[in-house]
Structure 1
Amino acid sequence: MSTEGAVRRGRARAHLSAGRIDKGSALPMYDQLERIIRAAIADGILKPGELLPGELHLCELYGVSRTVVRQALAQLENARVIVRVKGKGTFVAPQKTTETLAGRLAGLFEEVASRNGHVRSTVLRLEREPASEFVAEQLDLAVGTPVVVLERLRFVDDERWSLSTTWMPEAIGRHVFGVDLTNSSLYALLESRGVKAETGIRSIEAALTDAREGQLLGIGPGKPVLQLRSRTFDAHRRPVEYFEALHRGDRSRFEFHLEASTSRDRPVFITQ
């Protein structure tokens, strides 16, 4: 174990030691222990992927039975806060990145940056191609019109997170050539070139990976993912981009901010 890892483990144990089980409380002891561990994770004392103290150590630390410890850990595992690996121990589960689908238009880069995370992209494909019938419809172009296609594998805090493909009209996509997108935002790049995304229409649904997608995302074929589709427009309602993104289901979460409807609200109907 590295010196840094040993120091962090020491801090984690000290933090857990500071928690107390109130045996006279009406709240069951396993619920109290669950809250203590959750607090250590929320405060960043226990990091994603970090090994938790063993069951016997937790028993000694809090003066509780192994049954109490196992119940607390079972509840945390069911909530996907921790992951138990046979023969290795119990680890803090990877945190999910939240994307908000309401009120403001933002990409993965902006969403993660707002939470002090880091996004890195590997460009898999950047080229011009004739617009297919479907892509032409999304971008309001004639079939066969040249478009720019950009495919990226996205990492959040060095974890494989999503696989996205973006199609842009050639007049917009040409700005992407020769630019390093490893640590930068596509939206920010386009805005610096005078192309600003103002509005968008997004949808999300469940999907399964094929062999290539599963390999790139590091989860294998036939695994559940969240598929995001989006059309983005400028202030004049001209299409800026159309993209499709596959987000790992074990890494991503989408939040919807809702308000009570008004007479001016328009219902949205989803058809198959």
Structure 2
Amino acid sequence: MVYLVYSAVMADDTSDPDRAPGAPGQLDVVARAHRVLSDELNRGVFAAGSRLPGERELSGRLGISRGTLRKVLARLAEEQRIEPSPHRGWYVGSSQMVSEPASELISFTEMARARGLRPTARVLDRTERPAGYEEAARLVLGPAAPLIELRRLRGLDDRPVCVETAKIPRGVAPQLAAADMTDRSIHAALEEHSGVRVVRSDFMVWAAAAQAETAELLDLEPGAPVLIGEALTYAQTGSPVLLTQTVYRSDAYRFAATLTRTHP
């Protein structure tokens, strides 16, 4: 199942003092209410999949006008914390789902923590081997250059979410051949051990059927739908430093993108 990300922008109500253009402190009011409601979502005050209280009740609880509340709800929808349902109100999204913000490069660990979840990573396998022809070409390496391959099971609050296979040129970060990569971000490890800061990634995603081994790791039936994301990630120098393929449970990941029209 592929989830489409929906962003809602409510109609302006200039009669509302909190929403009036240029109203003093208006941004602070929105930010404070957003923090309060985000914290309640993180603490499970509203269960995943449940309907949020109506605007009158929510605005009263937060001490804000309905117009300001609509701005807060729109922001939470953009963050994929809640989802609109026409004529029915707002519903809490799945608390066990990750998604990169559109056009922003962040790690799995950062995605999880932004949603108030605990990211986990269990190392399944780690090998050192010569790079294959395609791997060497994509990572701009010489033929059969040494490569570190790290395979991990990633989870959210101990629930398996994806199987990640990362390939790092040994010359970029030789320390990763032995570093403890349990519950760690590869992006953070690259910077900590080798001073390599990732800044850009070419990413593509496609649907597939889960192979038997992957299905068992993700608590799925063999052949169940999964999403596969592949990323070629570049350092601040402009050189590719990481090639990753990640197999996600289809009910735990959604892909967001910002599309720009380049011609009339």
Instruction: Name the TM-score, length of structure 2 as normaliser.
Output: 0.63
Quote the offset at 1:113 in angstroms: 1.3
- Alignment match, 1:207: 208
Q: Which runs of 5+ in 2 are unaligned?
A: 1-39, 51-84
- Alignment match, 2:240: 239
CA distance in structure 2 between the aligned counterparts of 1:115 and 1:127, rounded to whole angstroms: 32
Is this contact kept in 1: 2:122–2:183, CA < 8 A?
no
CA distance in structure 2 between the aligned counterparts of 1:184 and 1:145, rounded to whole angstroms: 25
Q: Single out whichever of 162-171 and 41-50 deviates more from structure 2.
A: 41-50
Give the AA of the match of 1:208: A
- Alignment match, 1:158: 158
- Alignment match, 1:248: 249
Greater percentage in helix = 1
Quote the offset at 1:181 in angstroms: 2.0
Quote the offset at 1:141 in angstroms: 1.6
- Alignment match, 2:54: none
CA distance in structure 1 between the aligned counterparts of 2:43 and 2:187, rounded to whole angstroms: 32
- Alignment match, 1:45: 45
CA distance in structure 2 between the aligned counterparts of 1:43 and 1:177, rounded to whole angstroms: 38
- Alignment match, 2:53: none
Quote the offset at 1:49 in angstroms: 10
Percent of aligned positions with the same letter in both sequences?
Answer: 27
- Aligned residue pair count: 186
Quote the offset at 1:104 in angstroms: 2.2
CA distance in structure 1 between the aligned counterparts of 2:189 and 2:42, rounded to whole angstroms: 34
- Alignment match, 2:144: 144
Give the AA of the match of 2:198: A
Q: Verify: 1:257 aligned to 2:258, yes or no.
A: yes
Quote the offset at 1:262 in angstroms: 4.8
Give the AA of the match of 1:162: C
Quote the offset at 1:197 in angstroms: 0.8
Is this contact kept in 2: 1:147–1:173, CA < 8 A?
no
Instruction: Name the TM-score, length of structure 1 as normaliser.
Output: 0.61
Quote the offset at 1:183 in angstroms: 2.3
Is this contact kept in 1: 2:148–2:177, CA < 8 A?
no
CA distance in structure 2 between the aligned counterparts of 1:262 and 1:97, rounded to whole angstroms: 32
CA distance in structure 2 between the aligned counterparts of 1:102 and 1:93, rounded to whole angstroms: 17
RMSD value, Cα: 3.0
Is this contact kept in 2: 1:100–1:257, CA < 8 A?
no
| Structure with higher RCO (Cα < 8 A, 6+ apart) | 2
Q: Which runs of 5+ in 1 are unaligned?
A: 1-39, 51-75, 83-91, 266-272
CA distance in structure 2 between the aligned counterparts of 1:179 and 1:141, rounded to whole angstroms: 23
CA distance in structure 2 between the aligned counterparts of 1:98 and 1:158, rounded to whole angstroms: 14
Give the AA of the match of 1:123: V
Q: Verify: 1:100 aligned to 2:97, yes or no.
A: no
Q: Verify: 1:109 aligned to 2:116, yes or no.
A: no
The secondary structure found in structure 2 opposite 1:109 is helix
Closer/same/farther in 2, CA of residues 43 and 167 from structure 1, 3 Å limit: closer
The secondary structure found in structure 1 opposite 2:172 is helix
CA distance in structure 2 between the aligned counterparts of 1:97 and 1:205, rounded to whole angstroms: 17
- Alignment match, 1:176: 176
Closer/same/farther in 2, CA of residues 41 and 185 from structure 1, 3 Å limit: closer
CA distance in structure 1 between the aligned counterparts of 2:218 and 2:175, rounded to whole angstroms: 27
Give the AA of the match of 2:119: V
Give the AA of the match of 2:256: E
Is this contact kept in 2: 1:109–1:185, CA < 8 A?
yes
The secondary structure found in structure 1 opposite 2:243 is strand
Is this contact kept in 2: 1:98–1:255, CA < 8 A?
no
Q: Verify: 1:218 aligned to 2:239, yes or no.
A: no
CA distance in structure 1 between the aligned counterparts of 2:138 and 2:101, rounded to whole angstroms: 20
CA distance in structure 2 between the aligned counterparts of 1:199 and 1:118, rounded to whole angstroms: 25
The secondary structure found in structure 1 opposite 2:109 is helix
CA distance in structure 1 between the aligned counterparts of 2:261 and 2:148, rounded to whole angstroms: 39
CA distance in structure 2 between the aligned counterparts of 1:96 and 1:253, rounded to whole angstroms: 11
Closer/same/farther in 2, CA of residues 131 and 211 from structure 1, 3 Å limit: same
- Alignment match, 1:230: 231
- Alignment match, 1:126: 126
Is this contact kept in 2: 1:101–1:257, CA < 8 A?
no
Deviations 1:62-105 (A, max 9, x none): xxxxxxxxxxxxxx9xxxx99xxxxxxxxx99534231263321
Give the AA of the match of 2:181: L
Quote the offset at 1:217 in angstroms: 1.1
